[in-house]
């Protein structure tokens, strides 16, 4: 770490409204821990920002003292970009405000808010915007990488619903990025990650959703998975935008609606959410029930906010996680064969492979409209290695890489940036495809010295 004098640290402490935490302070280890337990980095200091003034001060401090700078929203990113070694972390856990304007259908969101925070406020008015599928995810990181979830087939990517953002740039300037002002910056932050500045406020468009939706799970044994995936693939083009169906292959968790003899056995799970009139729910999901003969199903009306938390127990913080991902236009026969072989060799009870169905409205937006470019993606496939014991690292990582390699010939060659692990810097250009060079130009304008480099980094041209 660059040497920082005690006087400079004391000066920073007195200049902020939030809290500056140092390694010897109580709670520091907890503050540096994040969702993925494989990430164990030791920053020199953590600045818990209380507002934009603290953000500007923190950026200036890192810049002037030559410190690595990391930005922590929800701390959920698989690559662990929320925390750095020997540098300064700007932590937004104190900035979690979500304000809903139900008349204009707008949400004003601070960068520390989680999906649960957002949904709690928006669903009070029967409103929502497309977000992810795990309520502890941070809104900021999810959005900056593109963002998709159960509502995306109907309402697009998260970035397609971003109206404006306040961004503090590397030189400490606060800019409003929108279709009317700093348009190049607005284009870049809609998928380009945290490469261009620190967003201190997001404004989202909201849509009528819920508060009740229809959905749940249909679980089939693995020996039916081949036929089920072929039927799933065939059914996708006719599914309404209001319906999103994801396929998950893993060992069956001990869900109460599954017979005990199925627990721990390999299964294919179809998870679905229908946001049209709930009375139409049973007919909307009926095709899924024809994919095979279920060993168990749990379908019905439920609050949207509850469905957004349904997978939280399987994604709790503190486990070791390693992902590998491809974008897919289809689920080819060769991919299915490789998939079935991989699922029969799961290295831990928590490992899974899922196909997040996107398509719908996400594909009707031009490739160059936002930095997020993967508009041809029908499914975002993720190999999710997850386990508890560090001794299992090599085995679980090798399993994930092996299926990633086996499935590569059937992929689009692109990748969702939020699913990329820390060693995948070589795939950044793949994540942005035809938009990459334009992103480099925007980066070169707003962050020519690459202060914001602790991310899936887009390097400036100079």
Over the stretch 183-227, which tens digit does the pLDDT of each residue have? 999 999 999 999 999 999 999 999 999 999 999 999 999 999 999
Task: Please provide the average confidence, as pLDDT, over all residues in the chain.
Answer: 97
117 pLDDT more than 70: yes
1 pLDDT more than 70: no
What element of type H or E holds 249?
strand 243-251
Contact present, 249 and 313 (Cβ < 8 Å): no
2 pLDDT more than 80: no
DSSP letters for 110-171: -TT-BHHHHHHHHGGGTEE----S-TTSBHHHHHHT----TTHHHH--GGGGEEEEEEE-TT
The closest of 168, 164, 189 to 177, measured between CA atoms, is 164
Neighbours of 448 (CB within 10 A): 13
Contact present, 176 and 182 (Cβ < 8 Å): yes
Please enumerate in sequence order all residues whose Cβ is within 8 A of that of 104, keeping only pairs 6 or more positions apart, or say none.
Answer: none
Pairing state between β 69-72 and 162-168 = unpaired
Give the per-residue pLDDT at 77.
Answer: 95
Contact present, 416 and 159 (Cβ < 8 Å): no
Which neighbouring-strand residues pair with 357? 379
Neighbours of 148 (CB within 10 A): 29
Give the per-residue pLDDT at 380.
Answer: 98
Q: Which domains does the chain have, with CATH numbers?
A: 6-91 (3.30.43.10), 98-209 (3.30.465.10), 212-419 (3.40.462.20)
CA 137 – CA 358 distance, rounded (Å):
19
Give the per-residue pLDDT at 357.
Answer: 98
Contact present, 128 and 149 (Cβ < 8 Å): no
Give the per-residue pLDDT at 3.
Answer: 82
> Would you state the torsion angle of the CA atoms of residues 283, 284, 290, 294, taken in this order, to the nearest 10 degrees?
-90
Pairing state between β 88-91 and 69-72 = parallel
Crossing angle of helices 225-235 and 333-343, in 10° steps, is 140
Q: Span 228-245, mean pLDDT? A: 98
Over the stretch 309-347, which tens digit does the pLDDT of each residue have? 999 998 999 999 999 999 999 999 999 999 999 999 999
CA 242 – CA 277 distance, rounded (Å):
9
HSE value, Cβ hemisphere, 13 Å, CA-based, for 426: 1
Confidence of residue 31 (pLDDT cuts 50, 70, 90): very high
Alpha helices in 268-385 (DSSP H): 281-285, 304-307, 333-343
Three-class DSSP category at 462: coil
Helices and strands counted in the chain (H then E): 14, 18
The closest of 232, 461, 224, 457 to 343, measured between CA atoms, is 224
Share of the chain above pLDDT 90, in %: 99
The closest of 77, 205, 195 to 138, measured between CA atoms, is 77
Over the stretch 432-450, which tens digit does the pLDDT of each residue have? 999 999 999 999 999 999 9
Q: Which two tokens stand for residue 190?
A: 């809609």
Over the stretch 371-395, which tens digit does the pLDDT of each residue have? 999 999 999 999 999 999 999 999 9
The closest of 90, 35, 96, 91 to 61, measured between CA atoms, is 90
Q: What is the DSSP letter of 408?
A: G
121 pLDDT more than 90: yes
């Amino acid at each position: 770490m660059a040497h920082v004098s005690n006087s400079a640290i004391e000066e920073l402490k007195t200049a902020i409204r939030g809290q500056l935490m140092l390694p010897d302070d109580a709670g520091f280890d907890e503050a540096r821990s994040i969702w993925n337990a494989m990430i164990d980095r030791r920053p020199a200091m953590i600045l818990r920002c209380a507002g934009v003034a603290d953000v500007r001060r923190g950026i200036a401090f890192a810049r002037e003292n030559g410190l690595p700078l990391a930005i922590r929203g929800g701390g959920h990113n698989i690559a662990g970009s929320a925390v750095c070694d020997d540098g300064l972390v700007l932590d937004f856990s104190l900035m979690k405000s979500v304000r809903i304007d139900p008349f204009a259908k707008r949400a004003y969101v601070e960068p520390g808010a989680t999906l649960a925070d957002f949904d709690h406020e928006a669903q009070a008015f029967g409103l929502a915007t497309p977000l992810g599928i795990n309520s502890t995810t941070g809104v900021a990181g999810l959005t900056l990488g593109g963002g998709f979830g159960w509502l995306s087939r109907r309402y697009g990517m998260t970035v397609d619903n971003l109206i404006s953002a306040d961004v503090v740039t590397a030189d400490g300037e606060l800019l409003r990025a929108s279709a009317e002002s700093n348009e190049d910056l607005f284009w870049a932050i809609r998928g380009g990650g945290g490469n261009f500045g620190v967003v201190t406020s997001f404004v989202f468009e909201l849509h009528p959703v819920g508060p009740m939706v229809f959905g749940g799970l249909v679980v089939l044994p693995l020996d039916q998975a081949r036929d089920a995936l072929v039927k799933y693939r065939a059914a996708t083009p006719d599914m309404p935008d209001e319906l999103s169906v994801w396929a998950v292959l893993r060992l069956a968790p001990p869900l109460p609606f599954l017979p005990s003899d199925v627990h721990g056995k390999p299964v294919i799970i179809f998870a679905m959410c229908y946001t049209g009139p709930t009375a139409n729910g049973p007919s909307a999901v009926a095709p899924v029930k024809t994919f095979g003969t279920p060993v168990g199903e749990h379908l019905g009306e439920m609050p949207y906010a509850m469905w957004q938390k349904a997978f939280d127990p399987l994604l709790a913080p503190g486990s070791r996680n390693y992902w590998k991902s491809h974008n897919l236009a289809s689920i080819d026969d060769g991919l299915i064969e490789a998939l079935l072989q991989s699922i029969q060799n799961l290295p831990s009870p928590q490992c899974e492979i899922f196909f997040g169905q996107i398509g719908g409205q996400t594909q009707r937006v031009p490739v160059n409209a936002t930095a997020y470019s993967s508009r041809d993606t029908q499914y975002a496939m993720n190999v999710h290695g997850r386990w508890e014991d560090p001794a299992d690292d090599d085995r679980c990582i090798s399993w994930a890489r092996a299926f990633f390699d086996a499935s590569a010939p059937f992929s689009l060659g692109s990748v969702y940036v939020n699913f990329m692990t820390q060693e995948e810097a070589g795939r950044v250009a793949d994540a942005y495809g035809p938009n990459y060079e334009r992103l480099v130009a925007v980066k070169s304008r707003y962050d020519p010295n690459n202060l914001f480099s602790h991310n899936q980094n887009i390097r400036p041209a100079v």
